[in-house]
Structure 1
């Protein structure tokens, strides 16, 4: 047992979990700052953006696109409904999220916030490095999700 403990040299900077979590916290702060002018969190703004893009979209599809649990999407939708930024339409067992005039009026502001967010880190990595990072992240996510099934 002691030998096993020695093999695990817990260096935080060399740990994928720690590095990813740290980066997520930093990106989260940058995103919060970028979207603060919209009055919405980045996740709420991105949900609204997707609804506005489609005009109407199944709530389940939003959850899949944003990689969020149904209960989280339900809470986000309730908040956006309270602000009259989206409305729900039931069609059989499916719930569709639809745009509202007020929600559509925020689209330019959301896009501006998105662009401001991208400017914060655009010049740190090259385009090729950014693409490679995204490809590696997606590969890792996909493989981990397949292991869970």
Structure 2
């Protein structure tokens, strides 16, 4: 039965989970006016003003070119600014970027609450931890 193959395939199930949680995250972050990934990036920038683009890439597990595009979007939206020192770009929040922090934290908490209500809080934490550990092991 093909459906059993899919249920037992890590690739398929992780992608399915990604689509489902992405939809939830987009709904939670919609009031902020930015995507969940932009929101998490902005929270990092707010928590560490002057963070380098390479640090953002490492923290978010993204390629430098993707980080550049995402930072460009935050700059265009007036939430962040880039300061270049030599070959390094450092990202700082603007006042608007700082002002949105509370909304971003609320969106993150709303996302957490949404999936915790569906999975159960402990199950959600266990799934998050197991997924994080598996990704780390597979990455090495």
The two structures have a TM-score, normalised by structure 1, of 0.85
**TM-score, structure 2 length as denominator?**
0.90
Picking from 92, 95, 103, the partner of 2:97 is 103
Show the counterpart of 1:23.
17
CA RMSD of aligned residues (A): 1.8
* Contact 2:50/2:91, CA 8 A, preserved across alignment: yes
Within 5 Å, give how 1:55-66 maps onto structure 2: 55-66=49-60
Query: CA distance change for structure 1 residues 37 and 128 in 2, over 3 Å: closer, same or farther?
Result: closer
Unaligned 5+ runs, structure 2: none
Residue of structure 1 in register with 2:68 after alignment:
74
Deviation per residue, 1:116-135 (Å, 9 max, x gap): 11111113334443333233
Pairs aligned (count): 139
Q: What runs of 5+ residues in structure 1 fail to find an aligned partner?
A: 1-7
Which of 33, 47, 58 is the aligned partner of 1:39? 33
Give the 4+ runs in structure 1 shifted more than 6 A: none
- Alpha-carbon distance in structure 2 between the residues aligned to 1:45 and 1:111: 9
